Structure 1
Amino acid sequence: MKRLTGIILLSMHLLAFTECHQLLRIPYLMQHFQQHRAADPNMNFSTFIQIHYLRPIVVTDDFKQDQQLPFRNVDCHMLSTTVCIYEPVTVEIDAPVEIPSVFFCYNETNKPQFSSFDIFQPPRPACVI
């Protein structure tokens, strides 16, 4: 039952929101081909396709029937397209600023405030002056 429901919902979506509903017009294609074949018995299907699809559209006396053929015009205007407008971006990179490096070594004149006998002490740089 789930499979049938999925097939029905997928079919409805494809017929409503894509150009797959044009496939339902294939009987009009065959009927129109038979009419052309009756008028010109030497016409084959490839010539019929060239006349109606590959050549420029010409308004003739059967133009209304030509417009009912599948994939002749686009009926589905509910296309999901995204239009992005890109504006040029200017990136300016400033020259790196040199930060003077100042190192403090702990010696007798610059002794830290913590006691030397504490267990938890921050790491000290190994500087010898």
Structure 2
Amino acid sequence: MPYFCPVRKVCLYILIIFIWAESTSFDQLLKLPVLFEHFKEHQLKNRNVDLLEFLAMHYWGQDMDDTDNDRDMQLPFKKVNINTHYILFARFTQAPRIIAAEQTVSRTFTIYKDQYHPDPNLTSPFRPPCA
């Protein structure tokens, strides 16, 4: 088993976290403060709105007609964009060598015979009726 120094191990974990965060919607969790700020804005308009009603209104049901659609679209998981970019780096200890190999192909081909074509009268769409 190869020996990994602690710095390499930490760098590897950080790299894995960055790749995971880029290929998932992890960045949407960073928008949670916007969710709570918008909840406070709704509570200023209507004191009876609790958190569950707020979530149901914005995610599972019909939103109030309060002309704040731009603010609603800033909430987490309203618009999810996932862009994935995978790059593979290979480090070689030696330069790879390409070895050309001679290859001979020997095949026997049959002589063309007319018997391989079907009868055109049998494949024609306009045929005489069969009895």
Which ranges in structure 2 are unaligned for 5 or more consecutive residues? 1-6, 86-131
| CA pair 72-59 structure 1, distance change in 2 beyond 3 A | farther
Aligned mates of 1:59, 1:17 — CA distance in 2: 35
Structure 2 letter corresponding to 1:20: F
Instruction: Report if the CA contact (8 A) 2:28-2:80 is conserved.
Output: no
CA deviation profile, 1:2-61 (whole Å, cap 9, x unmatched): 343233212311222111111111111111111011111111100000000001567751
TM-score (normalizing by structure 1): 0.53
Structure with bigger RCO (C-alpha 8 Å, 6+ apart): 2
The aligned counterpart of 1:30 is 36
Secondary structure of the structure 2 residue equivalent to 1:61: coil
The aligned counterpart of 1:9 is 15
TM-score (normalizing by structure 2): 0.52
The aligned counterpart of 2:78 is 72
Which one of 45, 53, 56 corresponds to residue 50 of structure 1?
56
Instruction: Report if the CA contact (8 A) 2:22-2:84 is conserved.
Output: no
Structure possessing the higher radius of gyration over alpha carbons: 1
Which ranges in structure 1 are unaligned for 5 or more consecutive residues? 80-129
Instruction: Please state which structure has a larger fraction of its residues in helix.
Output: 2
Instruction: Report if the CA contact (8 A) 1:19-1:76 is conserved.
Output: yes
